[in-house]
A and B are shown apart, each in its own frame.
Chain A
């Protein structure tokens, strides 16, 4: 039997506000344990939360960017459970009146564009970190992360494969980064997700019984967790048994999920309205103000790159999901470069360099002017394309312009016909076997000879001039 996978995601994104959600502690990553805490965020008796308005603004921003309706009335609720990293033994979250509802995000799939529904987006506080040190038989709690603002984005069960889930996660990440509400650094845990998976025989209308996978901390982890869960559930169904509704824990190292609790053991969080915080009345004027402040969103950028720059859909899609790349493209084109040439450099050498350096597209140290200059140097014949590739790493290292780097390193292209002719002759002398082969009819040694000339000039020779002179010199043989 063929099965269809049904996936819904709950994404937690840390917001990049200056301060925490309910106190004035700094909101940042790292640092010594328990140094960014105060009586409020460690929940000392008698303390009270006061809502950081910026968190609401960021939540609304995310909602608008994901086409949600923004609530006129919203409130915060307590989610009660015991765990050492939760200092009040309740998390302030939102239950029945979330900030945003009924939105959607458009993703690209192999069958074209698809709309993934957003059920809701709500604001809540993060917990601290609880770790166990087995060597010293000691448990430690660090409350630095406690009270860091989060939004939880809940999708509709509209996703049908792990690839679609990945596309959805990428789309959400690019939107959040683009609107500047989260830096979405997976390695710092600022984007995490829970994955709800069920399977059903193809053609069946009703959903199958779902399981929820927690502790998924990367996009690739989400993909593998979904594939694992699909296989596990199909195996159960094929054996004639039934899938149980349960919460599972994804172990990324093992590549497996493990039962955390069954439906019967499910937590009763005893949600009730947070009496320490007033309900929120969100004025339409404020929402419109925030809407107007929204930057151009990734899918809007993609459409523009295709229409205005004439870039292929593939290039436009890849560049538009990155804020850094989009800006670099716009600036480079603004400085007079051809869009396709700019795109090639961004998706080619620059991307390669970023990957090698383990940095992100936001961390490219040079702007559009430098890239446009590099492209112009090639087009003017000042340097060759291969030299240009050589200096890209230098552009990441120093703040010199491409032209300055070229001059400093003596990489100016050799276009002098006489000089190149002289080098060709030297190459002929050094490679008598190749010349013999050529004379014997093996014309493909031309490529080898061209390479030797390039090598002799350390890649500085103008390829067009080599071609022309090689033609002449070979003709003389």
Chain B
């Protein structure tokens, strides 16, 4: 099998540009890999072989003709199945949308129009979950240990990149759904500042928290994908109208004088010793490279999980109300009137976790409870934002764990929703404050499972994260999974 698939996007971009390889060759190699390893991993809900190869050939032809192409043109990727792809089924891993074929592209897909789409990556149903176990279709396995979950909700995207089943992938992050699976699968995952990447075409879970971002093999690739997907979109009113930066300019390796804070609340109780040790080790590496590292405090952190689950569920209860069986997707059989269509379709079409959040969200928005829950959560949101703003007066980047623990076994946390929700403790407050943050691999635990460290930036401080991450990456041990007894 071709070794091409183990290369990074920036290496492949150079080879493609020099015409040493073709996109068709690369895309074919990628499908060969998928055929070999997908039976162990189950990263994809659907594959798009014909479409991807057609795109690859189109790019090769354009390149031969000397047409101007984007930097990542011809490099195949996996797309989370909640990002609308014109003509390609977009299910959100739900029975409710098992047959939904969008007639339009998400804005990010238009931006990645030179990208062969390998397939649509598995996820927790409607992105609700931290293990990808709530998918209606399949359970994605962690490439480092197929008895364990890959994290979630973008577990398919994380596992695909980790298992070399895609050169890069797109995911979405509402409370950690990019960073946590990246951490558990040993790859780089980046959640940009809210508003930097258009949400148009991302099937909404919690509109004020959702953000699309990349999964990549390293920080350099992450910068390249960000360059492609960031930018203003008139179809998204929450999209920021600011000039786009070239994130590769932050690939300097220089962090001298950079002020890095380690919030003590993030390495306290509930975080495993091994994870804490890795974060502190990363802190020491930064210090050695000339950064100023200091312990700091984010005192609102303990309230973030509650605020997050109230706000995200409230928005979800409204965002998911449109799945009523009338216009598209699943419709229950044997209904005799409209109300029955609503009740039966929604009862049969949604899984338990989605229903749980819809009920919670409906409750917190109800008259008589709104002030006590939703409104109070919004107040907490303001306090969390202020907490971060104050901290960022002193620091450029914050360093924290991404996940309090490494990948757990299937079923281990499924029985108790609260235990599952607690897995998001280190990531949710970043979404609440709309900040950028990345998870990058930084070694493994005793069992050989990846540990990720999280770099958190100030609003629009996305480049600071790339800069710090690129410098730290040099000191992170290279890790890769063994799948089916081979690399």
Contacts and interface: CB of A to CB of B under 8 A. Distances in A.
B43 to A, nearest CB: 22
Interface string B312-327: 0011011001101011
B342 A46 contact: no
A45 B102 contact: yes
A47 B328 CA distance: 14
* B interface SS class: loop
Given A45-B97, A45-B100, A270 B84 contact: no
A44 B237 contact: no
Nearest to B233: A48
B202 A46 contact: yes
Given A45-B102, A272-B374, A276-B237, A84 B204 contact: no
B385 to A, nearest CB: 15
Given A268-B367, A278-B238, A46 B84 contact: yes
Nearest to B368: A268
B338 interface: yes
* A interface SS class: loop
A358 B272 CA distance: 80
Given A50-B234, A276-B238, A268 B366 contact: yes
A53 B82 CA distance: 30
Contacts of A51: 237
A51 B200 CA distance: 14
A49 interface: yes
Contacts of B203: 45-46
**Range, interface on chain B:** 35 or more
Nearest to A143: B327
A276 B237 CA distance: 7
B386 interface: no
Contact of A47 (B201, B237, B314, B324): B201
Interface string B289-331: 0000000000000000000000000110110011010111000
B162 to A, nearest CB: 26
Interface stretch (A86-94, A147-155, A286-294): A86-94
Nearest to A79: B318
B369 to A, nearest CB: 10
B327 A42 contact: yes
A249 to B, nearest CB: 17
A259 interface: no
Interface in B329-352: 338, 342
Given A45-B90, A45-B92, A45-B97, A88 B338 contact: no
Interface string A27-53: 000000000000100111111111100
B236 interface: yes
B234 A39 contact: no
Contact of A39 (B90, B97, B103): B103
Contacts of A277: 237-238
B180 to A, nearest CB: 23
Interface residues of A, number: 29
B319 to A, nearest CB: 9
Interface in A43-91: 43-51, 78, 80, 82, 84, 87-90
B238 A78 contact: no
A82 B100 contact: no
Contact of B102 (A44, A89, A90): A44
A45 B103 contact: no
A239 interface: no
A44 B321 contact: no
Contact of A272 (B92, B318, B321): B318
Contact of A90 (B199, B318, B342): B318
A139 interface: yes
A139 B338 contact: yes
Given A45-B322, A275-B208, A84 B338 contact: yes
Nearest to A78: B318
A44 B315 contact: no
Nearest to B378: A273
B235 interface: yes
B204 A46 contact: yes
A23 to B, nearest CB: 9
Contact of A80 (B234, B328, B365, B370): B365
Given A80-B321, A89-B324, A277-B237, A47 B315 contact: no
Interface centre among A45, A78, A84, A141 (most CB of B within 10 A): A45
Given A88-B321, A88-B322, A272 B365 contact: yes
Interface of B: 82-84, 90, 92, 97, 100, 102-104, 106, 199-204, 206-208, 234-238, 314-315, 317-318, 321-322, 324, 326-328, 338, 342, 362, 365-367, 370, 374
17 contacts: A39-B102, A39-B104, A44-B84, A45-B100, A46-B102, A46-B204, A48-B235, A80-B318, A84-B338, A87-B322, A90-B321, A270-B317, A270-B366, A270-B370, A271-B365, A272-B314, A278-B238
Given A44-B328, A139-B338, 13 more contacts: A39-B102, A39-B104, A43-B322, A45-B84, A46-B200, A46-B202, A47-B201, A48-B199, A82-B321, A84-B324, A270-B370, A272-B314, A275-B208
The 7 closest A-B pairs by CB, nearest first: A89-B321, A275-B207, A270-B365, A275-B208, A45-B203, A46-B201, A46-B84
